[in-house]
Amino acid sequence: MAGQGRGGSRRRRRAVALGAAALVLASGCAAPAQPDTTRQDIQTVLDRRAAAVVGRDESAYLAAVDPRAGSERATEQREFRNLAEVPLGSWDYRVKSVRRTGTLATAEIDLRYRIKGYDRAPAVSARTLELRADGGRWYIAADRPGKGAGRLLWQQGKVTAVAGARSLVLGVGQRAALLREVAAVEDRAVPAVDSAWQEKWAGRVVVLMPSSLEAMASLLGAPAASYRGIAAVTTGEAGGSDSAPADRVIVNPQAYAILGAFGQRVVATHETTHVATRQHTTAATPLWLSEGFADWVAYRGSGRTAPQAAPELQSAVRGGSLPATLPSDGDFGFGGDADRLARAYEGGWLACKLIAEKWGEAKLTAFYRAVGAHKTRDGAEEKAMNDVLGTTPEDFAARWREYLRDQLG
């Protein structure tokens, strides 16, 4: 019995050894797991599509669209043709993330495009693509704005391009003659900004003029009510470097149309100032300074008096409601109290006007740069006022209140 037990033990050990060997051989012969190349494959499709845009190859552009998505194909064809007059210097897509379920995928991407002769860096638009795999390749089934993004101008209709000396105006649903007028106003605004800011910037402006207020809001991905009465806004990245996304001035055609020549010039110069100062406008810059400085440049040399340019604030001062502090960022909110918004802009303008008159224009621009150079909002004004103006926020606020009484009382 003992011998049989020992033999049985040896057989069991032999069986275990053979089993282990089989496992080793089996694992050695198994095919390695295939890497998921979905993201790279989608990027390849989009790279070909980008090359087709730059090369104006409609058939190659549409080759990326799902043959089963007839309405999407028709939409993509219209958008491609709407781009015909836009002088593109570059166009590319960057895949940020992909979620795949079988033959379907959703990709979050950035569309980056540069306008030749105007953009030193691309404009960027977040897009969400729905894709379907068929026959070993991916096709676009749907293309929509990404989170927080708006529509693109050429998705609203055929783009008409008018080039000025220092500007490019891209319009949809607008007469070419009107676009030329806008370009002429911008061409006057650029040198006005140059003379006041005297810092290096692109010196050229791209203006988008959609067909309506609603179309403007669609470009911005926001409700139309937020921009009713606002003649124009500037998009861009605060604190942008030469590689930051390009700025765009977007015009509200309805509000712009009711302005006279002087008002249009003020709006154009104000928005162009935002483009010029973008690199020095950061999270540390309060809105009273960025908006006030833009208005200061716009009114500079115009001969407009404080009562003429600040009627809402004058009414408040004369009514005994002298502001206790400089305008807060919240005072500049669109879509709220229009009178409060007007007083905020006027108060910021008079604060910058005070600095220019008491300390000099060079000190005003130095103060602007110093505030923007601070790493955080906290302490930015205090440090810049001490370093550049030799004062404190409390002293400056008191001077500003006295200035309002003197100018508007």
pLDDT in tens, 80-97: 999 999 999 999 999 999
Return all residues near 277 (Cβ < 8 A) that are at least 6 apart: 197, 199, 201, 290, 293, 294, 368
Which CATH number applies to 38-149: 3.40.47.10, 3.40.50.10680, 3.10.450.50, 2.40.110.10? Answer: 3.10.450.50
What percent of the chain shows pLDDT beyond 70? Answer: 89
Share of the chain above pLDDT 90, in %: 82
Dihedrals phi, psi of 347, to nearest 5 degrees = -65, -40
Q: Is CATH 3.40.30 the classification given to domain 152-280?
A: yes
Q: In the chain, where does the domain assigned CATH 3.40.30 lie?
A: 152-280
pTM, rounded to two decimals: 0.87
**Structure confidence by residue, pLDDT tens digits, 348-391:** 999 999 999 999 999 999 999 999 999 999 999 999 999 999 99
Beta strands in 136-254 (DSSP E): 137-145, 159-163, 167-172, 205-209, 232-235, 248-251
